[in-house]
Structure 1
Amino acid sequence: MIISTYDRCHYRHLKLDNGLNVLLVQDPDSRKSAACAAIAMGHFQDPTHCQGLAHLLEHMLFLGSQSYPVANHLADYLSLNGGHVNAWTGTEQSSFYFDAFNSGFAHALEQFSAMLSKPLFDPQAISSELNAIDAEFRLKQQDDLRRLYQVHKETCNPAHPFSKFSVGNQEIFGQFSAGQLQQMLMQLHQKYYRAGNMSLSLVSDMTLDEQEDLCRRYFAALPHGKTNEANAYPPLYLPEQLGVILNITPLKTARRLIVSFALEDVHQYYLSKPLNLISHLIGDEGPGSLLCYLRNQGWATSLSAGGGIQGSNFKDFNVSMQLTPLGAAHWQEVVKALFSCLQLIRQQGITQWRFDERQAFGQMAFDFHDKPKAMDMASHLATQLHFYPPQHLLSGEYLMDTFAPELIKHMLEQMTPDNMRLKLILPDQVTDRAARWYQTPYSISPLPTDFIKQCRQPKEIDELRLPEPNPYLSVHTQLNEVDQRFLLPVKLCSTNNLSFWFCQDDEFRQPKGELYLSFDSQAVMQGANLCAYKRIWTAMVQERLNQDFYQASIAGLHFHFYAHQGGFSLHTSGFSHQQFTMAEQMLRQIVRFDYTRDEFEQAKTRQIQAMQNSLLNKPVNRLFSHLSVLMQPLSFSMEDMLPMVEDADFAQMQNQHTHLLAALHLEAFAHGDWSESDTQAFAQTLQQGELAEKLRIGTLPRQVIALTDNYQLAVPCQADDNAVLLYFQTPCADVECIALTILTEQLLAAPFFNQLRTQKQLGYLVGSGYMPYNQHPGMGFYIQSPQYDNATLVREIRDFLHQSLAGIASISESDWQAIKQGIAKQLISKDTGLSMRSQRLWLAIGNEDLNFDQPQRLSKQILALSREQVLHFCQGFNASNGFGSVLLYSTQSDQSAQPLQGVHIDNLPQFKANARLIR
């Protein structure tokens, strides 16, 4: 098995006597263990008369097995052992995965095996779970990606299983009795849940021998055999479904053009990856690129190449573009420019040095990738077992070993207008049909003959050129020596206007680093109007950086420039060697940033579109957004900022951006493979020149609104579903209060989901969470429902909380200790990679946890909490007891006022202006 340079894990591939394909991973650094089972069965295998059955089967496996008949038995057990379980059903695969603390892994694996091999399929549970399936379907009716996906299904070959409806709903399942559904589920399960049809991956700190013993103990009894299907599917598209244009009207405002070329299955070419070079050259964003040309014409704002659906006999190669209104009007010219780019690639792009460069980048990505969490690793590897031989399980996605110019040419030969499908996704189009299930308006028609002819013989565009050799290709892998003084963050320099923290990595030992540069701006105190302009400005800066530093981004130097409530931040990451130099160049560009009126207008249009679309988000997301605005003084709602962005003008933008940069404070943190001297030199550059002249203020306080009563806030929503979010603000923010909040939420999370989602079927989106704002703790409980009104949802939440005292009191002493120990372990669990550790240390700096030990203090505090303390704390749900609360609920324009408890917030900005602030 090919293993990367810095990989400290040990691997063992084996096949059990029953045919089960297994990969075991011993990760000595892991504090959690994980498992994933991937089954070669998805919605392609649904019976034609009962589409969605595989999805229903996925749901039913969680609702009891012969050995563990209680619904959600595994989820309940994992909640006591620091883990959780989840699943998905795709086109040709289904996947089930979980994680747990190492001490609870063996018993969890036993339950996992029973869940997969001996499900109950109880008829009563089937009838109940249909409500959840239907609620999930209704939720996805408002999802533009799902709506677009259905149009795709309706316009492909109806004899191909891709055309099947994958979700299922009451209309389909309601045709059958619970007994009939039970029989179909049993038949589907018996046919496909066989060892030869499945793969299993385990990740743990256990030895490989111990893992193999568990694997054989719990999975050797799976039925033998493999479901031998020829998978001789017909072509995905009929001839009349190629060379066509689909006009599609989305729910949200969008202007997208997706050009799809129908290819054969390309997985067999994974060693040479012929599409890798093509997608790289089309998707280039630097000077001379297709995107740069389209931007200069004012036609497009972003472009990606290489995605698209893929299966056992098909692959769509997609080129997807976000268009401007002008680009939407000139979509034919945009497509012709794409074919000019393809012609240029045919003539100049298929060269050995370009392949060598892509090969080198693939090797770098393989050698230096961050180790994922145990559950993510198990999920990924279980899937890979279906697609790669053992020697390439780890490397198959990354490495390219053979330059195959004829194969690249073969792929390019299929990228023709006659083998193309255009999806034009625009508002207010003329359409003549609606996709079934989702009612997506669309039309399909052949592309004009003259247009196809022009695409076959594209004109040469002088501005287009292929990228030069990448200057960031060379990576210094010689690591710096670690100085024991910098194993925790230390301030290298500190003034009233700037703090620069530095920490070296002594564990992951890769030539990488993470750099955070966070600027507070005095101007944000001016309010929503300045913040509206800040959105436009940061979007313009990020787009310029994307263009100017695109070569760096594909060479493993990543960057993100974004707005936050106090100002804006630049975060860079990846290989450390040239990162300080890149960051210095970016900061110089940010300070000197100049932009044209066209750039401003394009960024403004994109922000308006994004803000308008956010108003159409599903109700529960709208509630969370408003809660964030409510709790943070320097945050403003989309409703308040949207008119300001719409009225923004170019001259005022220049004025506001000058204000934004006039008085700044910088908090910086460098963590990774840098020497003290190099970091000191970079820190000194920040204290000199143009940037230093703008560092004039101290850090802005991160305050939080004090909820001094029980409030309610109506949130306008477009979707029909009702939704409520009940948020409790903890009385104080000391370690004990934080620990009580975390422990209480964890104690209530599983029973809340089980009672209100699984048993009462109130909705598909049901849950709770620990939700601190600006370091002040709190917790929330939410439900989104397609069938119950808000008053009912609120009553159910309050009834649950009222009964929570009895529920906590009834927990057995062993479970009580297990829960506390599980949470305590999670808080101090080891970081899986440099980026995760950097993020944790950066958060500690922001929280002024300058001993960097809050997780340890919280862990110790949780272990010390008594049941009586938690019960007393929970009384705050039902009496004031120091708690403040706010009930957020969705409302539609045609709804009358609802009789809900709490002091109504009529004017959110006015309420915040008059509210007491914490910290």
Structure 2
Amino acid sequence: AVKRAVCCLGQPVSASASFITGNGAGAASPASAPDQGEPPPPEGARAQVAAGDGEERATVDDQGDPEIVKSPSDPKRYRYIELSNGLRALLISDFSGADGEGGDGESAEQEEEQEEEEGGEEDEGDSGEGSEEEEGDRAEEEQDSDFEELEEENPVKKKKSSEKQAAAALCIGVGSFSDPDELPGLAHFLEHMVFMGSEKYPAENGFDAFLKKHGGSDNASTDCERTIFQFDVQRKHFRDALDRWAQFFICPLMIEDAVDREVEAVDSEFQLARPSDSHRKEMLFGSLAKPGHPMSKFCWGNAQTLKHEPREKQINSYERLRDFWRRYYSAQYMTLTVQSKGNSRTATIGEPRPDFSHLQQPFDTPAFNKLYRVVPVRKVHALTISWAVPPQGKHYRVKPLHYISWLIGHEGTGSILSLLRKKCWALALFGGNSETGFDQNTTYSIFSISITLTDQGYQNFYQVHTHTYMLGFHILIYEEIQKIEANEFHYQEQTDPIEFVENICENMQLFPKQDFLTGDQLMFEYDPQVINAALSLLKPDRANLLLLSPENEGCCLLKEKWFGTCYSVEDIPEEWAERWAGDFELNPELHLPAENKFIATDFTLKTSDCPDTEYPVRIVNSERGCLWYKKDNKFKIPKAYIRFHLISPMIQKSPENLVLFDLFVNILAHNLAEPAYEADVAQLEYKLVAGEHGLMIRLKGFNHKLPLLLHLIVDQLADFSTEQSVFTMFSEQLKKTYFNILIKPDRLGKDIRLLILEHCRWSVIQKYRAVSKGLTVDDLMTFVRGLKAELYAEGLVQGNFTSLSALMSHQPVCRKLQFQPLPADVPVLFRVVELPLKHHLCKVKSLNKGDANSEVTVYYQMHMEEPCFDFLRTKETLGYQVYPTCRNTSGVLGFSVTVETQATKFSSEFVEAKIEEFLVSFGECLSGLSDEAFGTQVTALIKLKECEDAHLGEEVDRNWFEVVTQQYVFDRLNKEIEVLKTFTQQELVSWFLEHRNNSSRKLSVHVVGFGVEEGDQSTTCSPDSATSSSAYGEVSELTFVPTSSPSLQDTTLITDIRAFTSSLPLNPYHKIIN
């Protein structure tokens, strides 16, 4: 049943079939080699086709497939083929790049790699769509900023692949809905297991090691009806990587020993997810579906469902896993996307697919259309209103839910959120459908409105609900959305290929060929009948309400099975049901948005008015600030970036000042929400960030209207004011934000580490105390006047602007704000303490007694990624999150290893010992590295640093890092490459040994979860327990924990951070410029 395949270069492939590549390389496709003693799969059931067999059903010339609609700005060529066995593939040829790169027919050995740096502009997402927890997490990240550019998010240091990498993605049209009832989480578990080696490449972490060696990365995810795998690598090594990757689907090892160990990784992943309110809400919502409907399945899986219960029931999980793979990892369910540089020549290379479309109306049950009160993990008041409607995928050309969500989620004048904010009832509102498998599948679609409430809004949540129905709709709004999204598509920037192929291979499961690239982006046609049909279903009597609040503690006696969420259920009060049964009159304060003045109409590429430069040049340099400028002549799109850093010494003077600064930035964003929202929906993005030493203003988008947005922000900044009710609302919210940071082990651990290392840093606990004791509006206004009185404004303008236009962006900042220059230079770094030559340990108890998750970070002041993952996660199964990090803490370098584990499985001291064991073995590995292996690693790193940027934002991020840190080494990558070319193995070994053992300056930070391995016997830490606000400890104080392990007897235990750091010498302010 298995045909022999030959790739187009004439090289025989020993596997059962060949994947398709865009550069003439061939590798095996997802075909199965039958197990011993089993019948072979039916002919054609898996990916099988021989080269030149004539079964390709789409042929086009090398100019690409004209039927596939693409952006005029997209330089790639696309070729679609459909094989007789059902596999569908899209071959993407990318010929863009620097001069001198070859074209068609180049050998596979020619190196044409590029990469993308991490840390680019944030994805703002669709206007008005998202989840309140995701937005809350983003806000908390900003509140806890430790100048991320100087830490692990340094865009110069931490890089990923760019569009010049080769990438591939495979989407299998089967997911968690297909889990057997007796083995919840099996699809997710299989996604893990196929990566644990293959018959041809049996090393468990061999693929990851290969990718890391050659500048690549990989990932996978399981959704309700789809599972996606993707990877990228330097093009020179794409053929080998593709073969290794394909073997996961052809003949994965899945040995029983690995099965038992990987169950623990799946379990740890679930344990890390348990404290997430969004995951808990999702699971609770799914439990409301009809009995037997797949929506109610526990898709995560854990040790209980995948190991313990099957053994008790004498179910062979191993055999069921292999059966699931044989049954569903089949060609007719697969879509493959491959992106490389070669031409579009192809390497020619069961059972019925699960269908759930007959299971309609899963929420037509008595459990729906109720009020569910829920106790959240975080301190938050939130109302989620949800409707279950028929599947909307077939209406993708109209996108009725997207249109409705655009109007409901609008934040401008006359919007629902504008009205709720005026009443001080809400802080944020998100409406729509996330288009994940949970929100949209073949059985139904969800439309949700999630509102983050204030304390007052929580008391009036029924009135809040009522206001969501008081808005009209109009075709002109639809046409405006069409215009905005068409502009963005027409001038689309290129993206990271691994993300691009992942998105497209999923689109191939959802849309016809012509819309592979556009189906999820464009609104093609206005159809009032389809829109009205969707609107008619969004009625109060069809809605389900979830109300999250710590105030629900004590009245929620029900418990969701898997996440342990405490909740209660009650009927909608008759009074409100009767009120909602009538016709709603449009609220006069609510109206449709006015014509958007921020929509760009001029897309002309500007002509340079000064000589072009490779790096930014300083065109303003005064005592009040400076401005850096670079004209874009590479990416040639009508877009630009404007960034400013307004530096002030007032911010770090006290915890109270830090709180007032956070309040100022939050209220300023609130004041801008209405007037600037039109800019946001017109694809002009802005972000205000409360940095450690100043306010950062970041703008990007079409350059035509970008100055208009900057003027608006500067005007609001200059004329800042607020009211008592708004101040009270944001003070309450900020206290909750600090609280929610402190109950997360990873965030608390980071705060403690930086508090020890950075001199004069204030902790989140100190900020929590400051906001708790009470601040006034007068305090805020006094602070803001002082802040604006003396500043240093440093900016960067880059993109489709002339130098004259760039100067015009700097002038209003100085003229409108009317600030005086700073009396002295203000450092944009902290001074860092010099740790003594010894091991120091700070061990504290988690502030959430219901959370078993622990975090252990071992930091050495002064890269080992794949071996670290293999040793600590794969072999030792200590936790799902295991990672080493190269750290740049205010100019002082170091490295760390972090493991997130559970106190129900391991003690933090045991994990510390295993990290030390790994470092010992890594040192031995380093010393024994051959010259060839060392040279390979160095070459791979050089290739990463030599890669071109995929889009303008990456170049801007790198340049902004130099500006905001005031280092100005814009050619840093070139300097690092020159150093690497002369770097020797002995230098690396000597460096590593110098920073280990008695020569090390070592700091360990343990945030200890609650569980039996830490001596906790309370039921609050059991896997079946619920996490709720009653489980929180006192967050204004840390509880220091003594050590118990004999191996830590000689360790200096830190039980008073200020006392420990006060006597330590300080490193000078340090910039890495040589």
> Under TM normalisation by the shorter chain, which class is it?
over 0.9
2:947 aligned to 829, 844, 849, which one?
829
2:857 aligns to what SS in structure 1?
strand
Q: Is the 8 A contact 1:245 1:444 kept in 2?
A: yes
Would the alpha carbon gap of residues 670 and 696 (structure 1) be closer, same or farther in structure 2, given more than 3 Å must change? farther
What is residue 328 of structure 2 aligned with on the other side?
Answer: 192
What is residue 414 of structure 2 aligned with on the other side?
Answer: 288
Q: Distance in 1 between matches of 2:442 and 2:329?
A: 19
Deviation at 1:772, TM superposition (A): 1.1
Is 2:136 aligned against 1:136? no
Is 2:938 aligned against 1:806? no
* Aligned residue identity for 1:119: P
* Aligned residue identity for 1:917: N
2:309 aligned to 175, 184, 196, which one?
175
Deviation at 1:412, TM superposition (A): 0.9
Q: How many percent identity over aligned positions?
A: 22
Q: Distance in 2 between matches of 1:651 and 1:87?
A: 52
Would the alpha carbon gap of residues 696 and 398 (structure 1) be closer, same or farther in structure 2, given more than 3 Å must change? farther
* Aligned residue identity for 1:756: L
Deviation at 1:887, TM superposition (A): 0.9
What is residue 109 of structure 1 aligned with on the other side?
Answer: 242
Deviation at 1:102, TM superposition (A): 1.0
Q: Is the 8 A contact 1:705 1:912 kept in 2?
A: no
Would the alpha carbon gap of residues 634 and 546 (structure 1) be closer, same or farther in structure 2, given more than 3 Å must change? farther
* Aligned residue identity for 1:326: Q
Q: Which stretch shows the higher mean deviation, 29-38 or 670-679?
A: 29-38
Q: Distance in 1 between matches of 2:78 and 2:760?
A: 50
What is residue 350 of structure 1 aligned with on the other side?
Answer: 474
Q: Distance in 1 between matches of 2:541 and 2:390?
A: 15
Which deviations, in whole Å up to 9, do the C-alpha atoms of 1:454-512 show, x marking residues without a partner? Answer: 12333442211111111122331111013433442111110132010111111111111
What is residue 2 of structure 1 aligned with on the other side?
Answer: 69
2:1056 aligned to 890, 907, 914, which one?
907
What is residue 544 of structure 1 aligned with on the other side?
Answer: 671
What is residue 721 of structure 1 aligned with on the other side?
Answer: 853
Q: Distance in 1 between matches of 2:341 and 2:598?
A: 37
What is residue 423 of structure 1 aligned with on the other side?
Answer: 546
2:796 aligned to 644, 653, 669, which one?
669
TM-score with structure 1 length normalisation?
A: 0.93
Q: Distance in 2 between matches of 1:317 and 1:687?
A: 46
2:707 aligns to what SS in structure 1?
helix
Q: Distance in 2 between matches of 1:117 and 1:625?
A: 46
Would the alpha carbon gap of residues 231 and 706 (structure 1) be closer, same or farther in structure 2, given more than 3 Å must change? same
What is residue 816 of structure 1 aligned with on the other side?
Answer: 934
**Root-mean-square deviation (Å):** 2.0
2:649 aligned to 507, 511, 522, which one?
522
What is residue 98 of structure 1 aligned with on the other side?
Answer: 231
* Aligned residue identity for 1:19: G
2:550 aligns to what SS in structure 1?
coil
What is residue 738 of structure 1 aligned with on the other side?
Answer: none
Deviation at 1:909, TM superposition (A): 4.3
What is residue 435 of structure 1 aligned with on the other side?
Answer: 560
2:278 aligns to what SS in structure 1?
helix
Unaligned runs of 5+ in 2: 1-67, 98-162, 1010-1032, 1034-1038, 1070-1074
* Aligned residue identity for 1:292: S
* Aligned residue identity for 1:321: I
Deviation at 1:21, TM superposition (A): 1.1
Which deviations, in whole Å up to 9, do the C-alpha atoms of 1:247-285 show, x marking residues without a partner? Answer: 111111111101112111111111112223211111111
Q: Distance in 2 between matches of 1:630 and 1:381?
A: 46
1:577 aligns to what SS in structure 2?
coil
Is 2:790 aligned against 1:790? no
Q: Distance in 2 between matches of 1:879 and 1:572?
A: 47
Is 2:1048 aligned against 1:898? no
* Aligned residue identity for 1:358: I
Q: Distance in 1 between matches of 2:287 and 2:993?
A: 54
Is 2:359 aligned against 1:265? no
Q: Distance in 1 between matches of 2:912 and 2:991?
A: 21
Q: Is the 8 A contact 2:178 2:354 kept in 1?
A: no
Would the alpha carbon gap of residues 496 and 902 (structure 1) be closer, same or farther in structure 2, given more than 3 Å must change? farther
Q: Is the 8 A contact 2:619 2:627 kept in 1?
A: yes
Would the alpha carbon gap of residues 144 and 479 (structure 1) be closer, same or farther in structure 2, given more than 3 Å must change? same
Would the alpha carbon gap of residues 127 and 428 (structure 1) be closer, same or farther in structure 2, given more than 3 Å must change? same
1:469 aligned to 595, 611, 635, which one?
595
Deviation at 1:321, TM superposition (A): 0.4
2:366 aligned to 210, 221, 240, which one?
240
1:485 aligns to what SS in structure 2?
coil
Deviation at 1:318, TM superposition (A): 0.7
Question: Which of the two has greater helix per residue?
Answer: 1
Q: Distance in 2 between matches of 1:826 and 1:706?
A: 32
What is residue 58 of structure 1 aligned with on the other side?
Answer: 191
Which deviations, in whole Å up to 9, do the C-alpha atoms of 1:573-621 show, x marking residues without a partner? Answer: 111112123212211211220111111111111111111111111x234
Q: Distance in 1 between matches of 2:614 and 2:715?
A: 30
TM-score with structure 2 length normalisation?
A: 0.80
1:239 aligns to what SS in structure 2?
coil
Q: Is the 8 A contact 2:290 2:365 kept in 1?
A: no
Q: Which stretch shows the higher mean deviation, 903-912 or 233-242?
A: 903-912
Q: Distance in 2 between matches of 1:650 and 1:146?
A: 37
* Aligned residue identity for 1:885: K
Q: Is the 8 A contact 1:350 1:408 kept in 2?
A: no
What is residue 971 of structure 2 aligned with on the other side?
Answer: 853
Q: Distance in 2 between matches of 1:590 and 1:641?
A: 24
What is residue 311 of structure 1 aligned with on the other side?
Answer: 441
Deviation at 1:112, TM superposition (A): 0.5
Which deviations, in whole Å up to 9, do the C-alpha atoms of 1:650-671 show, x marking residues without a partner? Answer: 2212222222222111110000
Deviation at 1:563, TM superposition (A): 0.7
Q: Distance in 1 between matches of 2:487 and 2:870?
A: 45
Q: Is the 8 A contact 1:244 1:444 kept in 2?
A: yes
Deviation at 1:674, TM superposition (A): 0.5
1:241 aligns to what SS in structure 2?
coil
Q: Distance in 1 between matches of 2:379 and 2:767?
A: 18
Q: Is the 8 A contact 1:270 1:396 kept in 2?
A: yes
* Aligned residue identity for 1:161: P
Which deviations, in whole Å up to 9, do the C-alpha atoms of 1:174-229 show, x marking residues without a partner? Answer: 233598112111111111111110111112223322xx32xx4xxx4xxx886263
Which deviations, in whole Å up to 9, do the C-alpha atoms of 1:664-701 show, x marking residues without a partner? Answer: 11110000001122122333333434334466654424
1:888 aligns to what SS in structure 2?
strand
Would the alpha carbon gap of residues 660 and 614 (structure 1) be closer, same or farther in structure 2, given more than 3 Å must change? same
Q: Distance in 2 between matches of 1:729 and 1:12?
A: 51
Would the alpha carbon gap of residues 525 and 329 (structure 1) be closer, same or farther in structure 2, given more than 3 Å must change? closer
Which deviations, in whole Å up to 9, do the C-alpha atoms of 1:816-843 show, x marking residues without a partner? Answer: 2221111122223221111111111111
Higher relative contact order (CA 8 A, sep 6+): 2
Which deviations, in whole Å up to 9, do the C-alpha atoms of 1:126-155 show, x marking residues without a partner? Answer: 112222222222222222222212211211
1:11 aligned to 78, 98, 104, which one?
78
2:892 aligns to what SS in structure 1?
coil
Deviation at 1:440, TM superposition (A): 0.4
Q: Is the 8 A contact 2:644 2:697 kept in 1?
A: yes
Q: Is the 8 A contact 1:84 1:100 kept in 2?
A: yes
Q: Is the 8 A contact 1:666 1:695 kept in 2?
A: no
Q: Distance in 2 between matches of 1:189 and 1:262?
A: 32
Deviation at 1:424, TM superposition (A): 0.7
Unaligned runs of 5+ in 1: 731-744
Deviation at 1:319, TM superposition (A): 0.9
1:175 aligns to what SS in structure 2?
helix
Q: Is the 8 A contact 2:791 2:820 kept in 1?
A: no
What is residue 688 of structure 1 aligned with on the other side?
Answer: 815
Q: Is the 8 A contact 2:843 2:1040 kept in 1?
A: no
Would the alpha carbon gap of residues 580 and 912 (structure 1) be closer, same or farther in structure 2, given more than 3 Å must change? farther
* Aligned residue identity for 2:72: T
What is residue 884 of structure 1 aligned with on the other side?
Answer: 1001
What is residue 733 of structure 1 aligned with on the other side?
Answer: none
Q: Is the 8 A contact 1:435 1:441 kept in 2?
A: yes
What is residue 739 of structure 1 aligned with on the other side?
Answer: none
What is residue 367 of structure 1 aligned with on the other side?
Answer: 490
